[in-house]
Structure 1
Amino acid sequence: MSFYILPLAIGPWQIALIVVVVLLLFGGKKIPELMRGLGSGIKEFKDASKEEGDEPANDKK
């Protein structure tokens, strides 16, 4: 097993630590706004990728 993969393993304690740090940095009132913005960004990305996939490829010969 490679030693480069081990640091990428995230367990429950690391997730809890990340949540606590985010709460301390942004506060409880700001997090719903951040998540709402993240969700709308993901939705726009999915819509844009669907539109890109729906267009026929005219450059194929």
Structure 2
Amino acid sequence: MGTPGPLELFLIFLVVLLIFGANKIPEIARGIGKGIREFKDATNEISRELQAEDQRRQIDQPRPPQQGAPQARQQQQEPVARESTDDAPPEPARADNPGDDAASESK
């Protein structure tokens, strides 16, 4: 026993038309449509309530600490003072001598 073919569907529609009449069929169709719409709305509302309940449960429960693979710390690179063409190391900063100030002021 498979699905009804086109001939069987036509016969069913003809019997319904004879029983209920042409004026009553649109009212029946509207009633079926409203029933289906209300059923969909109810199922959507129930699914929204279940999702909201799941979200509340997730918020209320404490979360376990997140554990992951250890990652190496990034070392900050020191900025290069200047690039030179030769491979000589940069000259160290010159320290001021206490006597330099007195000599420069008297000149």
TM-score tier after normalising by the smaller chain length: 0.7 to 0.9
Partner residue in 2 for 1:41:
35
Equivalent pairs, count: 54
- In structure 1, the gaps of 5 or more residues are 1-6
TM-score (norm 1): 0.79
Percent of aligned pairs sharing the same letter: 49
Runs of 4+, deviation exceeding 2 Å: none
Render the CA deviation track for 1:2-59: whole Å, top value 9, x for unaligned. xxxxx2321010000001000001000000000000000000000000000001346x
Cα RMSD of the aligned pairs, angstroms, is 1.7
Instruction: Name which structure has the greater RCO, CA cutoff 8 Å, separation 6+.
Output: 1
More helix by share: 1
Q: Matches of 1:8 and 1:20 in 2, distance apart?
A: 21
Match of 1:29 among 6, 23, 30: 23
Aligned-partner Cα distance in 1 for 2:2–2:12:
14
Structure 2: tracts of 5 or more residues without a match: 58-107
